[in-house]
């Protein structure tokens, strides 16, 4: 008979000083497994196929969650099978798909601390200290943006999608207050490459389906300011209200940075709220060599920064920062049980954040950025950003020389668009190869790359966010694309017959 673990008092599972030894033992067991797993990782994935994914989904769906608990070691064994064995690892140079970053160690420790203490940073009475850490980090970010830190404000959010919604919420209510115009007449102007969350936010905010106007971009996918000015003229001429202009500092598909100074001047001329979506490009705030690429961002009314992209923080960690603190009044909401509107007086604790946020209970996500800055310093994170920006530029030059690869344009941030080419294959055949090459690389586990469409053509996309990657790693991905392309491309004979 196998030994069954002694039933333990279920109350011991609750974090408590009396159970500290038990907690330490559990954490050590988990840590051993986790570090053991990490130490054995040799590739971004062990190989991902759709059949494998379906089988895994079935196994997880079949787990009986009502069965009495297994011991921790068994549960961790199971988790290794169900999750970690197939996990995608972002520190591996073969991972170059989406905007996922490797994370810094102090941030990982901060995550554990946050989970153990478990404060909610909506009101100070439940998060003493934590709230002030959030406020300090918002002021710091505002300073980096070039805002007057005494007048700026903001809150942490779970991601750029929420930050963009929050910024546009403020823009909407500002426009409504100023013009009295109904929602049907409000328009948001962004480039054709703006993040999809801008459209989604407009719909959630009650704007009509055609409220987001897409301004064309130049050959490097940056918003065309002349076209923006014409768009705003047309909006005003037809009696519509330019509620907001959204500039993107680092587009998701190209890493393009819209020309912020010119856009800011045009938005100001039309009294439109300027929201800058720097979810991707925000890391440049830390760079000593590339910070100038964000010049003009200081004119924004609101800015989205995703720390979980180019600040090397674990998900979730983002912020919405506003140039004028008072603009946050538009989302203020009061509840008698939390932050009554008639609160006040000398005994009141200073600094509740709940009225500034779209959330109520809010995780202490700022702590990971805090510990990262305190231990590593902003310059270290900035040097990582420099490294990946320089890596992308150098990779572009190297890959552009490879036969059978076509690159789209020089990267502005860390995104490269490329495709396999071969003589005798037309555009349709080459387009058809893009998803097949991508799937072949993922199945082998050699490289994880993304794909997108530009002007109707398909491209493979490399997003380079790994400061540990070397140029040879990126060249290897390029060569793997060529190898897969050769294997999958119809032969010259087949092309002839077709």
Ligand X SMILES: *Cc1c(COP(=O)(O)O)cnc(C)c1O
Q: Which helix (H) or strand (E) holds 171?
A: helix 160-179
Q: Segment contacting ligand X (CB under 6 A): 57-65, 210-218, 246-254, 376-384?
A: 246-254
CA distances from 35 to 32, 41, 236, 445 (A): 5, 10, 59, 21
| 127 or 252: CB nearest ligand X | 252
| 99 or 244: CB nearest ligand X | 99
Q: How far, in Å, CA of 428 to CA of 315, rounded?
A: 38
| 52 or 158: CB nearest ligand X | 158
Non-local CB neighbours of 78 within 8 Å, separated by 6+ positions: 63, 70
CB 5 within 8 A of CB 71: yes
Minimum CB separation of residue 196 from ligand X in Å reads: 8
CB 327 within 8 A of CB 170: yes
Q: How far, in Å, CA of 475 to CA of 237, rounded?
A: 51
Verify binding: residue 407, ligand X, rule CB under 6 A: no
Written as six digits, the tokens of 436 are 């097949």
Minimum CB separation of residue 80 from ligand X in Å reads: 28
| 99 or 189: CB nearest ligand X | 99
| 123 or 161: CB nearest ligand X | 161
Q: For the CA atoms of the chain, what is the radius of gyration? A: 25
Minimum CB separation of residue 53 from ligand X in Å reads: 21
Non-local CB neighbours of 405 within 8 Å, separated by 6+ positions: 399, 418, 419, 420, 421, 478, 481, 482
Q: How far, in Å, CA of 368 to CA of 112, rounded?
A: 10
Instruction: Using alpha carbons only, give the angle 414, 393, 288 rounded to the nearest 5 degrees.
Output: 75
Q: Which of 141, 248, 310, 372 contacts ligand X by CB under 6 A?
A: 248
Verify binding: residue 280, ligand X, rule CB under 6 A: yes
Q: Which of 96, 97, 99, 407 contacts ligand X by CB under 6 A?
A: 99
| 196 or 332: CB nearest ligand X | 196
How many C-beta atoms surround the C-beta of residue 377 within 10 A? 12
Q: Segment contacting ligand X (CB under 6 A): 154-162, 236-244, 402-410, 440-448?
A: 154-162
The DSSP string of 319-383 is: EEEESSGGGGGGG----TTT--TT--STTSPS---GGGSS-SS---THHHHHHHHHHT-HHHHHH
For the chain, give the number of residues: 498
Count of residues that interact with ligand X, criterion CB under 6 A: 16
How many C-beta atoms surround the C-beta of residue 378 within 10 A? 16
Minimum CB separation of residue 382 from ligand X in Å reads: 19
Q: Is the peptide bond before 316 cis (omega within 30 degrees of 0)?
A: yes
| 48 or 251: CB nearest ligand X | 251
Q: Which of 94, 154, 159, 296 contacts ligand X by CB under 6 A?
A: 159
Verify binding: residue 279, ligand X, rule CB under 6 A: yes
- Scanning residues 178 to 197, which ones bind ligand X (CB under 6 A)? 195, 197
Minimum CB separation of residue 121 from ligand X in Å reads: 18
The residue whose two tokens read 């909006």 is 235
Verify binding: residue 255, ligand X, rule CB under 6 A: no
Q: Segment contacting ligand X (CB under 6 A): 155-163, 378-386, 401-409, 478-486?
A: 155-163
| 259 or 478: CB nearest ligand X | 259
Verify binding: residue 302, ligand X, rule CB under 6 A: no
CB 156 within 8 A of CB 309: no
Minimum CB separation of residue 193 from ligand X in Å reads: 9
Q: How far, in Å, CA of 278 to CA of 284, rounded?
A: 9
Give the ranges where 19-103 is alpha helix by DSSP (H). 20-39, 50-61, 72-82
Q: 206-245 mask for ligand X (x: CB under 6 A)?
A: ----------------------------------------
Q: Which of 45, 161, 327, 414 contacts ligand X by CB under 6 A?
A: 161
Verify binding: residue 306, ligand X, rule CB under 6 A: yes
Q: Segment contacting ligand X (CB under 6 A): 102-110, 142-150, 157-165, 363-371?
A: 157-165
For ligand X, the nearest residue by Cβ is 160
Written as six digits, the tokens of 59 are 């196994």
- Scanning residues 316 to 375, which ones bind ligand X (CB under 6 A)? 318
Q: How far, in Å, CA of 44 to CA of 36, rounded?
A: 16
| 159 or 283: CB nearest ligand X | 159
| 310 or 339: CB nearest ligand X | 310
Minimum CB separation of residue 252 from ligand X in Å reads: 4
CB 273 within 8 A of CB 244: yes
Verify binding: residue 160, ligand X, rule CB under 6 A: yes
β-pairing, 212-215 with 186-191? parallel
Minimum CB separation of residue 430 from ligand X in Å reads: 27
| 54 or 453: CB nearest ligand X | 453
Minimum CB separation of residue 246 from ligand X in Å reads: 9
- Binding residues (CB under 6 A) for ligand X: these are 99, 159-161, 164, 195, 197, 248, 250-252, 277, 279-280, 306, 318
């Amino acid at each position: 008979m196998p030994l069954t673990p002694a039933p333990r008092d279920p109350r011991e599972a609750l974090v408590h000083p009396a159970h500290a030894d038990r907690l330490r033992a559990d954490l050590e067991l988990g840590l051993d497994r986790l570090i053991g797993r990490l130490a054995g990782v040799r590739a971004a994935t062990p190989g991902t196929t759709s059949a494998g994914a379906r089988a895994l989904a079935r196994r997880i769906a079949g787990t009986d969650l009502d069965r009495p608990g297994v011991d921790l070691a068994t549960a961790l064994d199971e988790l290794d099978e169900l999750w970690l064995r197939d996990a995608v690892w972002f520190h591996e140079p073969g991972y170059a798909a989406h905007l996922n970053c490797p994370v810094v160690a102090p941030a990982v420790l901060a995550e554990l601390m946050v989970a153990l203490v478990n404060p909610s940073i909506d009101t100070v009475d439940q998060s003493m200290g934590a709230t002030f850490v959030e406020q300090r980090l918002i002021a710091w970010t505002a300073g980096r943006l070039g805002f007057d830190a005494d007048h700026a404000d903001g809150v942490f959010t779970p991601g750029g999608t929420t930050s963009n919604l929050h910024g546009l919420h403020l823009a909407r209510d500002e426009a409504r207050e100023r013009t009295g115009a109904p929602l049907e007449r409000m328009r948001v102007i962004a480039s054709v490459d703006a993040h999809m969350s801008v459209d989604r936010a407009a719909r959630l905010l009650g704007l009509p389906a055609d409220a987001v106007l897409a301004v064309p971009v130049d050959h490097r996918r940056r918003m065309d300011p002349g076209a923006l000015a014409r768009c705003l003229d047309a909006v005003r001429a037809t009696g519509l209200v330019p509620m907001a202009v959204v500039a993107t500092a680092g587009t998701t598909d190209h890493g393009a940075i819209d020309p912020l100074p010119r856009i800011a001047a045009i938005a100001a001329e039309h009294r439109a709220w300027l929201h800058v979506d720097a979810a991707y490009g925000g890391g440049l705030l830390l760079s000593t060599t590339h910070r100038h690429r964000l010049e003009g961002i200081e004119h924004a009314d609101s800015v989205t920064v995703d720390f979980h992209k180019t600040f090397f923080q674990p998900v979730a960690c983002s912020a919405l920062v506003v140039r004028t603190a008072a603009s946050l009044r538009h989302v203020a909401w009061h509840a008698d049980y939390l932050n009554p509107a008639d609160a006040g007086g000398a005994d009141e604790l200073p600094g509740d954040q709940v009225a500034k946020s779209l959330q109520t209970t809010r995780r202490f996500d700022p702590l990971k950025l805090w510990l990262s800055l305190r231990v590593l310093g902003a310059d270290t994170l900035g040097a990582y950003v420099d490294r990946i920006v320089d890596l992308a530029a150098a990779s572009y030059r190297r890959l552009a020389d490879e036969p059978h690869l076509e690159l789209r344009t020089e990267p502005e941030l860390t995104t490269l668009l490329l495709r396999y080419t071969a003589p005798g294959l037309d555009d349709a055949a080459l387009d058809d190869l893009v998803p097949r090459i991508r799937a072949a690389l993922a199945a082998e586990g050699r490289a994880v790359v993304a794909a997108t469409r530009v002007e109707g053509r398909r491209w493979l996309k490399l997003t380079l966010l790994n400061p540990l990657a070397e140029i040879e790693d990126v060249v290897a991905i390029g060569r793997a694309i060529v190898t897969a392309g050769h294997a999958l491309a119809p032969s010259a004979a087949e092309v002839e017959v077709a």
